[in-house]
Amino acid sequence: MEKSGIDYATLDVFTKEKFTGNQLAVVHIPETGLSQELKQAIAAEFDYSETTFVEKAKGEEGNVWNLNIFITTAELPFAGHPVIGTACYVLSALENENQEIVKGAFLTKAGRVELEYDPAKGTAQAAIPHNIHIHEAPYLKNDLKRLQPSVGRLPEASPVVSIVKGMTFVLVELDSLDSLQFVNTTPYHVNTPFDEGWGDSFAACYLYYKLPSSDSNSRNVRLRTRMIESGLEDAATGSAACTLSSYLSMVEGKAGETVKYEITQGVEMGRRSQIFVDIKLDGKNKVETVHLSGGAVQVMEGKLFV
């Protein structure tokens, strides 16, 4: 008797080279649906930093899908590399003989995400939902030293920034690439006081170093980064890249301008990733749009039996 199963694929994201970038599992939700408990169990079984569950959205015209994003222990409202990886996967599968830009959208817990896929380049771009909030209390050096005792020079205070409710990062600027090399995973969680109404959030450290810019007006910014949370280092973190880019643009940019960021992450893990973020500021120096882009390459496909 032939077994039926649930289709899935795995991809390496923010790369065009297999076995680099950040791993992602994409699971097709069957017509019978999947319970929240089963989605969580499947995500734990893959044991990747994130697993997505995708299905065509009912009542929506065009290329629109419902997208659920899970880490091994919880569901996330939004995450960057799952959005880019899943977008490359589902949009590249659509017939497109003329190699024209393919448009679509994901419906996520953080809101609707508009998508574009460029078949010629093999890259996807996502208009990221955002509600940038800089928390009043920074993360202090003594607390950071507990997480990163091997890093010699740490800032006295680091901003705590949420890109949406439920997704928060401590943004730690380091003084050199050498300092970035000494970053390690930690058994401790990031414990920081959130502003009222912003609690119950995923929180992690995003450590970065600004590389010399090739643009004299500094509107093209190059960064090297590492993302650390308890027991985990992530090879590519789109949500953190968008958070950091938004914060830097608000602090260092000029009203009305667009700043482009090229972020390299995962080098120390042997999974080099290239993340691209464009931030447009409005006339009041607030973030108007956030566009995240990158490539992905499929590695495996198969069936889940549950």
| Residue 24 · residue 13 · CB < 8 Å | yes
**What are the catalytic residues?**
50
| Residue 225 · residue 208 · CB < 8 Å | yes
Maximum C-alpha span of the chain = 67
| Residue 127 · residue 291 · CB < 8 Å | yes
Residues 261, 21, 23: CA angle, nearest 5 degrees: 125
3-state SS record for 202-248 = EEEEEEEEECCCCCCCCCEEEEEEEEEECCEEECCCHHHHHHHHHHH
Tokens of 192: 């920081």
